[in-house]
Amino acid sequence: MLDIVDVGKRSLASYRGVAPDEQLDELVHLSEHLRGARCMHVNATSYGGGVSEILRSLVPLYNDLGITTDWKLIHGDEEFFQVTKRIHNGLQGAPGELTEKDKAVYLANAQRNASRLISDSEDYDFIFVHDPQPAVLAALSSLRESRWIWRCHIDTSHPNPSYWEFLAPFLTAYDAAVFTLDDFIPPELPIRDVHVYPPCIDPLSPKNHPLPEKLTKDLLEWIGIRTHRPLVTQVGRFDLWKDPLGVVRAYQRVRPHVPDLQLALVGSLALDDPEGWDVYKEVRSATAGDSLIHVLTNLVGVGNVEVNALQSISDVVIQKSIREGFGLTVSEAVWKGTPVIGGRVGGIPLQLPEGTGGVLVDTIEECAEHMLRLLRQPEEARLLGERGREHVRQNFLMPRLLRDHLLLLNELAA
């Protein structure tokens, strides 16, 4: 058996008054023919990163609509996750070559997971496989009755051929694929039914639920943030694609002009991300001795509610990625009315259209320039955040994502 992730119960009715009514009404209609269906979502980790964040909200909502849905995890040891991290990076275009040993480690693990899957998934109508870590499961599984969907959350527009040529033949077993952007569809994808829709945030989760101001401040003082001083924050896994060191350099450029400016760098260290530890150590050594830079992790108890508080109270949130799938952290911050400076990559421009929610940057210098400008012009910053919030409400809240899922399932069931 694959490990099952326990999720709570949730009701779509509680999104009334938060998400657009017409989206909620449409869900009832779209789920009519799917009631009683069984669905499974499989990925590699139950915490740390966007996919687990989405599944934690999406899976209970599927159940609320009458589609019995499980969330399961593949097993893997550190060696396996080192290989999958290289595959993840290679598919996003990083240089390097997948060795024969890497392939053997990956496939042996996939085989074990496929055997576990057989024992517990005979009657799933739909199986969503998220990202490259479990991607070969469809090909190795004998469960041909289910409809298989590969949900690729990363930027596979220019994959390194060494990685792509290894993975692509296994993808023929899928009935459909989903990408975040048209641009991410890799060349010569061997899946014909391709869908494109971005992920979403959950406005009712502890990460995004409105917090009382006093509680927000108390929580942050507890972890060492001085809430009467200006603050900029980046939340993101310790990953070079998220450019945490670039954020530190941009901050250091601004600091002489705003001497009491604090920087919070929040990153979770996840099981399937062994590289995260190396980047974390680099960030620590680049910021050592600076008492105004706070490097915070899940390991010291900085979880969803603290992230919520940081995104709510920061003067500016940064997501200075140089390669990105979607970047949920952008919508999370904008939803709280906080303006974001985002790298012009992946799904970030979708979330920050001109004059809405924040600004896009290409360099450390631009990031610093806009940071200083927004800190000096709080009214402009506030207006940006306010306009962005409505954009997020219309486009990036959970009911919209559920609608796209139901459209896909209806099509596959037809």
User: Interface residues with ligand UDP (CB under 6 A)?
Assistant: 49-50, 53, 207, 235-237, 266-268, 298, 304, 307, 325-329, 332
- State the first-to-last Cα distance of the chain, in angstroms, to the nearest integer: 30
Output the smallest distance, CB 380 to ligand UDP, in A: 25
Residue 351 C-beta-side C-alpha neighbours within 13 Å: 35
Q: What are phi and psi of 39, to 5 degrees?
A: -135, 150
Output the smallest distance, CB 313 to ligand UDP, in A: 15
Output the smallest distance, CB 91 to ligand UDP, in A: 13
Output the smallest distance, CB 307 to ligand UDP, in A: 5
Q: What is the DSSP letter of 346?
A: T
CA-nearest of 122, 125, 216, 115 to 408 is 125
Joined tokens for residue 40: 């499974």
Closest to ligand UDP by CB, 76 vs 347, is 347
Closest to ligand UDP by CB, 330 vs 372, is 330
Output the smallest distance, CB 130 to ligand UDP, in A: 10
Closest to ligand UDP by CB, 117 vs 352, is 352
Closest to ligand UDP by CB, 252 vs 304, is 304
CB crowding 36-52: b at 16 or more within 10 Å, else e: ebbbbbbbbbbebbbbb
Beta carbons of 154 and 164 less than 8 angstroms apart:
no
Closest to ligand UDP by CB, 267 vs 357, is 267
Q: Which region, left, alpha or beta, applies to residue 355 given φ > 0 means left and ψ of -120 to 50 means alpha? A: left
Beta carbons of 277 and 343 less than 8 angstroms apart:
no
Closest to ligand UDP by CB, 309 vs 372, is 309
The identity of residue 277, as a single letter, is W
Output the smallest distance, CB 208 to ligand UDP, in A: 9
How many CB atoms neighbour CB 316 within 10 A?
Answer: 29
Joined tokens for residue 28: 């009832």
Query: Residue of minimal CB distance from ligand UDP?
Result: 50
Output the smallest distance, CB 53 to ligand UDP, in A: 4
Closest to ligand UDP by CB, 235 vs 371, is 235
Beta carbons of 168 and 191 less than 8 angstroms apart:
no
Instruction: Please state, in angstroms and rounded to a whole number, the distance separating the CA atoms of residues 223 and 305.
Output: 12
Instruction: Please state, in angstroms and rounded to a whole number, the distance separating the CA atoms of residues 154 and 185.
Output: 10
Output the smallest distance, CB 218 to ligand UDP, in A: 19
Q: CA angle, 45 as apex, 392 and 398 as ends, to 5°?
A: 20
Closest to ligand UDP by CB, 207 vs 405, is 207
